[in-house]
């Protein structure tokens, strides 16, 4: 259950925060394109990224088997999430190299996911090494 809550927090961080980041950047550069589309970004982001939630949950459950410590596990999950974030952009042809708008849009979703992975409490306990008893 803790892994599900953790994955939900990470996923919701991107869904809620990414359109807000886009809105703030558009306001900073005085463009009205992003301001008028902020509401649709929330709906489209939630709809298109919903399949990512169970995949993040799977990654959270698999990470302890792939890395020995919390740092390694979170690094693996970060790579997993970066690939997972890039997938819809690649599939729908949104992410193009040297296209600043698509790179910013990609970054708006990737940054909150990565920050969520590192900010929220990791749901797996870290196993401590067993004490070794030596006869003296």
The token pair at 13 is 């961080």
Residue with the bigger pLDDT between 2 and 134: it is: 2
Confirm whether 129 is domain-assigned. no
**CA–CA distance, 77 with 85 (Å, rounded to integer):** 12
Range of the structural domain that residue 28 is part of: 2-119
The token pair at 92 is 């729908």
pLDDT grade for 119, boundaries at 50, 70 and 90: very high
Q: What percent of the chain has pLDDT above 70? A: 70
Confirm whether 133 is domain-assigned. no
Total domains in the chain come to 1
Confirm whether 68 is domain-assigned. yes
Confirm whether 130 is domain-assigned. no
The model's pTM = 0.73
pLDDT digits (tens, 9 = 90+) for 33-64: 555 556 666 777 777 778 888 888 888 888 88
Confirm whether 136 is domain-assigned. no
Confirm whether 12 is domain-assigned. yes
pLDDT grade for 98, boundaries at 50, 70 and 90: low
**HSE (side-chain half, CA atoms, 13 Å) at 58:** 8
pLDDT digits (tens, 9 = 90+) for 58-91: 888 888 887 778 888 889 889 988 888 877 777 7
């Amino acid at each position: 259950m803790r892994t599900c809550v953790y994955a939900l927090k990470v996923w919701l961080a991107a869904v809620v925060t990414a359109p807000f980041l886009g809105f703030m950047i558009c306001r900073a550069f005085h463009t009205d394109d992003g301001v008028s589309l902020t509401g649709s970004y929330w709906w489209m982001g939630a709809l298109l990224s919903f399949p990512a939630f169970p995949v993040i949950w799977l990654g959270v459950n698999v990470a302890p088997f792939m890395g020995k410590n919390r740092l390694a596990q979170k690094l693996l999950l970060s790579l997993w999430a970066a690939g997972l974030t890039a997938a819809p952009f690649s599939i729908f042809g949104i992410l193009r190299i040297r296209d600043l708008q698509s790179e910013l849009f990609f970054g708006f979703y990737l940054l909150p996911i990565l920050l969520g992975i590192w900010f929220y409490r990791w749901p797996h306990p870290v196993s401590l090494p067993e004490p070794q008893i030596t006869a003296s």
